[in-house]
Amino acid sequence: MSKQPNPTEQSQMAGSDTLDRGNSNAKLEQLDQFREDATGEALTTNTGVRIADNQNSLRAGERGPTLMEDFIMREKLTHFDHERIPERVVHARGSAAHGYFEVTDPATDLTCANFLSEAGKRTPVFVRFSTVQGPRGSADTVRDVRGFAVKFYTEEGNFDLVGNNMPVFFIQDAIKFPDFVHAVKPEPHNEIPTGASAHDTFWDFVSLTPESAHMVLWTMSDRAIPIAYRSMQGFGVHSFRLINAEGQSKLVKFHWRPKAGVCSLVWDEAQKLAGKDPDFHRRGLWEDIERGLYPEWELGLQVMDEEDAQSFGFDLLDPTKLVPEELVPVRVVGRMVLNRNPDNFFAETEQAAFHIGHVVPGIDFSNDPLLQGRLFSYTDTQLLRLGGPNFNEIPINRPLCPFHNNQRDAPHRQQINRGRASYEPNSIDGNWPRETPPAPSAGGYASYPEPVHGTKIRVRSPSFADHFSQATMFWRSMSETEQQHIVDAYSFELSKVERLYIRERQVKEILAHIDPLLALRVAQNLGIDLDSTETPTLEGKAQVSPALSQMNLLPGDIRGRRVAILLTPGCKADEVGSLKKMLESAGAVAKLLAPSAAALKDSDGQPMQPDGSFATEPSITVDAVFVPGGEYVLKALQDDGVAKHYLLEAYKHLKPIALSGDATQLAVMLGLQEDDGMLCGDAFDPLYMRFETALKQHRIWAREARAKSIPA
Ligand code: HDE
């Protein structure tokens, strides 16, 4: 029998696993008072009565019926029956972490928001990443937009920046959101497909809704299959408003720029991961934080004058448009580091209530009609999900600063409000709590006094009418490789659409207006006849924004990259040791993998314990593969189908592969042609240098055409 940990060991394990995560901050300290640790404690009911028997219900005789009187069982089952709350109607699948935001360049010229006021000032944050379409238990790696929601616990109240990993959106007006979501969600008759947009109702809606063209193009790009949360950009999408101490206002777009660069999966990998590791992104975030490889982003601002709202050739209030960085550069004001995992998924991640209307003095809204609608929807959804208006009292949602008002009662009220007057004005309690004069003088929230007048109408502004120019710009800003992936994605998705007229409409009515060549390439894959006279020409639409291509957004280092080291009996101990050391000193993760989970003997005859096996950590979960030399490496791998598939698949997915010493013979055996990332060598040091260079590029795109013939 295996050895069970004794109570002291157990308590130490519990301590290291759940309690002492380090990296505390003011929010985490506030949460401490709600944390519960049962190690060493008696089992009790919810009213604190110690339980003597948790194995048997109370019954009348050994074989008799259970008694109603069994309050212990009744309480336990009742609580269990009520464990679930409604999942988020969109963005149900997600994962979150704690961390901090630190100002690097104070933005006092732009805003009186206190958390942006001083270099070095830190504000605790809680950040939740999500997919949009799938339910809570769906796979992480599906083709979808990713949510990027940040809650700043500032000294002036919570500020939630509820954004996505793409800078634009599908629709221009909030009234269309339920239509869009109904179209993309699994179809109502059979609830298929889960976590995918490759079905009739989605393409029906978007092919009839030209304003979606730009965003759909983003979702057909590699941005929709990120390799990790740490490798995603984030965007506030809408134009917001910043107000400074003088009361001056500017329009602003928020940007998160990942330190890890922007990298994606390849489509085949994304699909396979959905089965082999549906928690791939969640696991990556968790493990990186546990390892101390803290994900980090810069916060940037694009600042625009209100008078320029329409001078860029599009309307800054239109959420289907982005502001090219070449036109308005991004000013970096701070950085965000995620350095601590939650203790309890439900209490923290699931109960986190983000709301675009949670703003602080110095930050205000624009008239973007999508943003305006969101201001309603987020409170409404929390009322249902979290069961009433006291959701701000749930520990994860509580502000760090005190809050007082005359709102009272409702389900699950935590605060015990003292005093007799819960109205204002009052003379009984000295009229407390009182108003604060507006910011900047004293810190009360003041909306920007924008003059507003108009006729009550339901119309779309003509300045929102151009749906294609920016889609064209995005398409033309892509590298050839990225364009090919976009063509492949449209072809894949539309091939799954049953109704041929919907496929045709998307190609002829939408793609042809983005770029005739894009339409033609997709049309060819679908067997659609595209008469070149039908396709519009795109005079004057040649604008390009290099900042949009993720090929230009690589990090230049290998921090956080995962490298599989394939061990075989007799593998060179010194090589494995140096490799592990060099990778780890560069911030990469070295994973020792063996044919099985059992330890094997290295070249020194010493046991080497693997971190996993080829089967438990398949090639799709790593960024690169290294096979160290060793006397028996060929013998061990040549008859091992799993190992051979490992290398073939890594090669197909354009990953750097290094074969050292005797392992080099595997290249010929498997038909892996040498290139910038398919590396063979006898001397370890130069081989490692070339491997690291290849790893910085992440994928060997030049191999893509050749890799198509690999049967993996
Ligand atoms: Fe959301 N959105 N949304 N959304 N959204 C929700 O709120 C909604 C939009 C975004 O991790 C819901 O608490 C409407 C744009 C994120 O908890 C709901 C409209 C952007 C998250 C809701 C939009 C987003 C949500 C569902 C159109 C990017 C997850 C659960 C007017 C800028 C936050 C919830 C988290 C969640 C409504 C459009 C981002 C129903 C009505 C545009 C990241 O309130």
| pLDDT tens string 463-492 | 999 999 999 999 999 999 999 999 999 999
Q: What is the pLDDT of residues 572-623, one digit of tens each?
A: 999 999 999 999 999 999 999 999 999 999 999 999 999 999 999 999 999 9
Helix residue spans in 157-291 (DSSP H):
177-184, 200-207, 213-219, 267-276, 280-291
Residue 3: CB atoms within 10 Å: 6
CATH 2.40.180.10 assigned to domain 94-397? The reply is yes
Asked whether residue 385 is marked as a ligand-binding residue, the answer is yes
22-42 residue pLDDT tens: 899 999 999 999 999 999 999
Is 91 labeled as catalytic in the residue annotation? Answer: yes
| Res. 15 pLDDT band, cuts 50 70 90 | very low
5 confidence band (pLDDT: 50, 70, 90): low
Residue 348: is its pLDDT beyond 50? yes
What's the rounded Cα separation, in Å, for the pair 440 and 581? 53
Picking from 593, 613, 688, 705, the residue whose alpha carbon sits closest to that of residue 654 is: 705
Substitution site in 162, 238, 396 for ligand 1 pocket (most atoms within 8 Å of beta carbon): 162
Distance CA 662, CA 620 (A): 25
Say yes or no: CB of residue 163 within 6 Å of ligand 1: yes
Averaged pLDDT of the chain: 95
Taking the CA of residue 128 as reference, the ligand 1 atom at the shortest distance is 11
Does 485 participate in catalysis according to the annotation?
Answer: no
Domain borders along the chain are 94-397, 468-552, 562-707
421: exposed, middle or buried (C-beta count within 10 Å: 0-12, 13-18, 19+)? middle
Peptide bond into 433 cis (omega under 30): yes
- Please tell me whether 128 is known to bind a ligand: yes
Closest CA to 687 of 626, 630, 619: 626
Which one of the listed residues 91, 358, 513, 645 is annotated catalytic? Answer: 91
User: Per the residue annotation, which of 25, 114, 158, 164 is the catalytic one?
Assistant: 164
- Domain spanning 562-707: CATH superfamily: Class I glutamine amidotransferase (GATase) domain (3.40.50.880)
Domain 468-552 has CATH 1.20.1370.20: yes
Q: Is the peptide bond before 440 cis (omega within 30 degrees of 0)?
A: yes
Ligand 1 touching residue 381 (CB < 6 A): yes
Cis ω on the peptide bond leading into residue 425 (within 30° of 0)?
Answer: yes
Mean pLDDT calculated for residue range 263-291 = 98
Q: What is the pLDDT of residue 441?
A: 66
pLDDT > 90 in the chain, percent: 92
Tens of pLDDT, residues 118-174: 999 999 999 999 999 999 999 999 999 999 999 999 999 999 999 999 999 999 999
- In angstroms, the CA 559 to CA 586 distance is 6
Check if 93 has its Cβ closer than 6 Å to any atom of ligand 1: no
How many helices (H) and strands (E) are present in the chain, helices listed first? 20, 18
Q: 447: which 2 tokens? A: 């909306």
- CA pair distance 467, 514, nearest whole angstrom: 9
Kindly state the average pLDDT of the residues 247-272. 97
Residue located nearest, by CA, to atom 31 of ligand 1: 174
Cα separation, 381 vs 426, in Å, equals 33
Three state DSSP letters for 614-640: CCCCCHHHCCEEEECCECCHHHHHHCC
Is 374 marked within a binding site? Answer: yes
